[in-house]
Amino acid sequence: MTNHWIDIRNADCIMIIGSNAAENHPLSFKWVTRAMERGARLIHVDPRFTRTSSKADIYAPLRSGTDIAFIGGMINYILNDMEQNPENYNMEYIKQYTNAAFVVNAGFTFEDGLFGEVSDGKYTAAAKKTWKYADTETPATDPALKDPDSVFQLLKKHYSRYDVDTVCNITGTPKDIYMDVCRTFCATGQKGKAGTIMYAMGTTQHTYGTQNVRSYAILQLLLGNMGVAGGGINALRGTSNVQGSTDMCLLSHILPGYLAVPQEVDTDLETYLKRACPSTITPQGLTGDKSANWWSNYKKYVVSLLKAWYGDAATGGNDFCFNYLPKCDPSVNYTHIGMFEAMGEDKIRGLWVWGQNPASGGPNSNGEREALGNLDWLVVADIWMNETSEFWQRPGVNSPDIKTEVFVLPAACSYEKEGSISNSGRWVQWRYKAVEPPGESLPDLEIMNLIMLKLKELYQADSSAPQAEAITSLDWNYGVHITADAVAREINGYDLTIGKLAESFGNLKDDGTTSSGNWLYCNMFTEADGNKAKRRNTVDSHPNQIGLYSDWTWCWPLNRRIIYNRASVDLDGVPWDKEHPVILNYNPVTKWQGDVPDGGWPPISQAKEGEKYLPFIMKPEGVARLWGYDRADGPVPEVYEPWESPLDKNLMSGTRNNPCAFIGKYRNEHSSSDRYPYVGTTYRCTEHWQTGIMTRSLPWLVELMPEMYVEMDEELAAEKGIKSGDSVIVSNARGEIKAVAVVTRRFQPLKVGGKDIHHIGILNHWGYSGMAKGDSGNILTPHVGDANTTIPEYKTFLCNVRSAR
C-alpha cells in the first residue's frame, strides 16, 4: 500500500476493484465504513456481486480480465472532461509532479495493438528505445501540454479509442452504471479531494496484470490522488507477511531491499552498479529543477548488504565478496511458473519449501504435482502435512512409482515463536511467543540455522568443493539457539566503526564501514529507541490526527506512513487538502510537521535554484510516470484478451493476446472456447485461506464452510439442469474438479461483443490433505503468466460444467 489501512477513512471516494475486501480483508471494512459515515462514496467493480458490492453505492459488473478497458474508458473520460472543465482537476499536480509534459521520442509508434516490433515474445530493443523521452538525460517538457509528442497528447491519442461504447462492449458493464462510476470517481480530481483504489489479486493475476495496475496509476495521477491522505493505490495483500517476504526479496529477481539480482554480465561490483543503478534524469522547464534519484544510493545499500552477509571477509580489496553472489542468466525465467517448467523438464533436483504449498497453490495443479515427482529430494517445513508433502500419495498415483525422497520438518506457528511481520500498510509489528510449539516442532528460524550450521561444517571439511568460501566465510554466528532479536538487529544494520546500531539508511556508506541486511528496514532497531516494532503508543500525534498512529510499531521507510507525501502539498508547500494534510507548516528552522516527509527539503518555491527537489524521489526523473517506458509490454496499458478467452478476437485491435505473456509448455493444454465456453475465475471465502491448509484443519472454520463449491448464474444453471446443492463437475483441457453447485443471482450473464458471457466462480482453498478435503480449484488454472512478473492468470480461463449425477 502507498497509504495504510486506517487512512482509507480519509477518502472521499473508494473504488474497490479486483478485490472482495469485505469478505477477504474483513477488518479493512471498518475503515471503508468510517469513510462512508463521513459521506464517502463506495464503488465496487467485480464480475460477482459480493458482500463488498452489497455495501457499495455503485456496483459495476465487468467481465473478468477487462480492467484495462474499464479504467481506460475512465482515463478517456478525464482527458476529455479536463479540456472542458480544467478547474475540476489539479492541473498544477499533473504538470509539475507527473511526466505529462515530457516530450517522448518522435519515433514512437502504436499500430493495431502493438508498440513497435515484437520478436520471439519480446519487444525489440529498437522498439523500446522509441518509448523513452526524446532526450533521456535532460528531457524537454511542454507545461502547456500541447506538444504532439508530449506524454499528455500521446495519452489523449491512445485513450481516444476507449470510448464508452467500445469499453462497455468489452467489459459487459451497463452503460449508465459505467458513466456513474466515471462521474463519481473522477470527481476526486478536484484539489483537496481524495479517491483511493483498493485492489487485490483480481487485478494482478492476468497475463497483463502489471498493466492493470499501471492503468490505476495513470488514473490516480491524473486525479492528483497519489501521496495524499485518503488516496493512493493500495494492494490489500493476502498473506500476513507477504509484504515482509517481498521486502526481504524471496524472489528470483531481487536481493533484500529491492536490489537487482546480478546477471552473468556483471563480472564485478562496478559493472553491476553501472547496469542496476539508475542515472539521474533532470527534466527541463518544470518549476522543480532537482531530481533526488534516491536509487543513486544503490552502492551504499549493496555494500552494506554484503557486509551483513560476509562480515570481515567483505573488503574493498575483494569487491566486498560480490563475486560470491549467484548471477542469473537473463534469458531464463526463474519465477514460480518458470521453476515448475524447469522441474517438468527434469532440470531441478532438489526443492525446499517453507510454509508454502505449491501442489495446491500453484497454477495447473495436475502439472505441478507431477513435476514434483521429477525431484530427487523435497524438504517441506510446515506446521501441517499439506498437498506438497503428501504429493507422492495423492489420489490416483501409485506411490512406489515416485522416486522423490521427502523430508518433513515440523515447524512452529505464529504465536509459538517470536519475530516481526509487515502488514500491507508497511507496518512492521512484533509478535511474541505465547506457548511452546507441539512435540518436537521448531521455529523455521532455528531449522534454517541448524541446516546452515551443518552445511558450514561440511564445507569447512571439503575445500575442494566449488566456491566453498561463499559458505565458509558467510557471517553466520547466531549460536546454536538463534534469536529473532539478533537477526532483527542485523537487518537494521550497524555502524561498524563504533559497533552500534545504524540510525537510518541515510547513514549507510559504500566503503564497508556500515552493514545493513535490508536498507529499507534500517531505523527499525536503534540504540536510542530499541526495537520499534514493539511500540504500542495509541496516541495519534499528527497535528490534524489523520490516523497515522506514528508511534504504534514502525513502518518502512523511516516510519513514513504515507509515501510520496511531498506530492500532497503545492509548490509553496501548502497542503491541497486543508482538512487532511499529510505534511504541513514548513519553516526553515522547525522544518515540516506531520508525517515523515519524503525528503525533508523545503517547498519547491522556497528552495534555491538547482535545489528545488521534485516529489517522486524514487524515480530518476523526480516525477511520477503516466508514461511507463520501463515495462516489458509497452509504455501505456492496452487491451488484450486473456490467454483463454470466450471471444475469437480482441474487440480493440488485431492483436488478440499480450504479445509478451509467458506461456508454459509443460502439461499446459489450451482450452478452446467451443468446448469450454464459460469464463472460470478463482477466489476465496471468508472462512478459508489460500490453499486452505491453515484453515481446513480448524473445526470451527470447517463447520462454517465445510465443502468445496462453485458459483454460477441462474440462466446457465437452468440450461445445464443444475440446482443449488447439486454435485457438479467443472472441467477444461487441464483437468476436472468436483464441487457443490451454488446457483446464485450474484453472477449475471454479461453482454459482450453481442453474446452472453457466463462466469463460473471457483474457490481455491481445497485439496487432499488435512481434515476437510476437496478438489483444488487450481487443477483448472493455466500455466501462463504476466509479461512483466509471470504472475499466473488464475483469474480468467475457460471451463465447462455438468451435473455429476
Partner 1 sequence: MELNRRDFLKLSGTGLSAAVAFAFLPDGTVMAAPREFPLKTKVKETTTICCYCGVGCGAIVAAYGDGIIKIEGDPDHPINEGALCSKGLAMSQIHQVNGKPNQYRLTKPLYRAPNATEWEEKSWGWMIETIARRVKATRDKYWTGRASRTDAIASLGGGELDNEECYLLSKMNRALGVVYLEHCARI
Which parts of 506-545 interact with partner 1 (CB under 8 A)?
A: 517-518, 521, 536, 538, 540
List 801's β-bridge partners, or say none.
730
Shortest Å, Cβ 199 to partner 1: 12
Nearer to partner 1 (CB atom), residue 314 or residue 743: 314
Strands 419-422 and 254-255, sheet pairing: unpaired
CB of 476 or CB of 666, closer to partner 1: 476
Q: Please tell me the distance from the alpha carbon of residue 422 to that of residue 428, in angstroms, as a whole number.
A: 4
Q: Which residues contact 202 (CB under 8 A, 6 or more apart)?
A: 17, 18, 19, 20, 46, 64, 683, 795
Task: In whole angstroms, give the CA distance from residue 647 to residue 663.
Answer: 19
Q: Which residue number, 228 or 381, has a Cβ lying nearer to partner 1?
A: 381
Piece of 35-43, 88-96, 325-333, 567-575 that binds partner 1 (CB under 8 A):
325-333
**Site residues for partner 1, window 690-709 (CB under 8 A)?**
690, 694-695, 697-701, 704
C-alpha cell at 346: 527434469
Q: Which is nearer to partner 1, 521 or 768 (CB)?
A: 521
Spatial distance between the Cα atoms of 155 and 149, rounded to a whole number of angstroms: 10
Pairing of strands 554-555, 427-431: antiparallel
Segment contacting partner 1 (CB under 8 A): 144-152, 213-221, 242-250, 737-745?
242-250
Residues in the chain: 805
Among 53-61, 452-460, 558-566, 570-578, the segment contacting partner 1 (CB under 8 A) = 452-460
Nearest to 710 by CA among 675, 758, 657: 758
Q: Give me the least distance between CB of 449 and partner 1, in Å please.
A: 7
Which residues in the 391-450 window bind partner 1 by CB under 8 A?
A: 392-393, 399-411, 413-425, 427-429, 431-435, 438-445, 448-450
Nearer to partner 1, 418 or 713 (CB): 418
**Distance between CA 336 and CA 627 in Å, rounded?**
29
Among 458, 675, 721, 755, binds partner 1 (CB under 8 A): 458
The interface mask with partner 1, positions 114-153, x = CB under 8 A, is: ----------------------------------------
Nearer to partner 1, 445 or 743 (CB): 445
Which residue is it, cell 498512529?
549
Q: What is the DSSP code (8-state) at residue 626?
A: S
Q: By CB under 8 A, what part of segment 733-772 binds partner 1?
A: 770-771
Which of 30, 578, 591, 675 forms a contact with partner 1 (CB under 8 A)?
30
Range 298-317, binding partner 1 (CB under 8 A): 308-309
Q: How far is the CB of 635 from partner 1 (least distance, A)?
A: 24
| Cα separation, 741 vs 7, whole angstroms | 39
Tell me, residue by residue from 650 to 689, as one string, x for binding to partner 1 by CB under 8 A and - for no binding: ------------------------------------xxxx
Q: Which of 134, 179, 187, 342 binds partner 1 (CB under 8 A)?
A: 342
As measured in angstroms, the least distance from the Cβ of 341 to partner 1 is: 11
41 touches partner 1 (CB under 8 A)? no
Instruction: Report the nearest approach of partner 1 to the CB of residue 343 (Å).
Output: 7
List the one residue from 256, 344, 615, 642 that touches partner 1 (CB under 8 A). Answer: 256
Q: What is the smallest separation between the CB atom of 262 and partner 1, expressed in angstroms?
A: 9
Distance CA 4, CA 66 (A): 27
Helix (H) or strand (E) holding 495: strand 494-495
The 10 Å CB-count burial string (b at 16+, else e) for 230-266 is bbbbbbbbebbbbbbbebbbeeeeebbbbbbbbbeeb
Q: Closer CB to partner 1, residue 153 or residue 335?
A: 335
HEC string of 520-548? HHCCCEECCCEEHHHCECCCCCCCCCCCC
> Is residue 354 near partner 1 by the rule CB under 8 A?
yes
Kindly tell me which residue out of 73, 227, 493, 792 binds partner 1, with binding defined by CB under 8 A. 792
Residue placing its CB nearer to partner 1 in the complex, 91 or 468 = 468
Out of 246, 507, 653, 744, point to the residue binding partner 1 (CB under 8 A): 246
Q: Which helix (H) or strand (E) holds 737?
A: strand 735-743
481 binds partner 1 (CB under 8 A): no
β-bridge pairing 58-60 and 41-45: parallel
Nearest to 110 by CA among 662, 654, 661, 789: 654
Residue 382: phi and psi, rounded to 5, are -160, 170
Q: 667: closest CA among 341, 266, 209?
A: 341
Contacts of 730 (CB under 8 A, 6+ apart): 680, 710, 736, 737, 739, 760, 762, 780, 799, 800, 801
Q: Which stretch binds partner 1 (CB under 8 A): 296-304, 381-389, 593-601, 610-618?
A: 381-389
Residue 1 CA neighbour count, 13 Å, CB half: 29
Q: Which of residues 4-23 bind partner 1 (CB under 8 A)?
A: 5-6
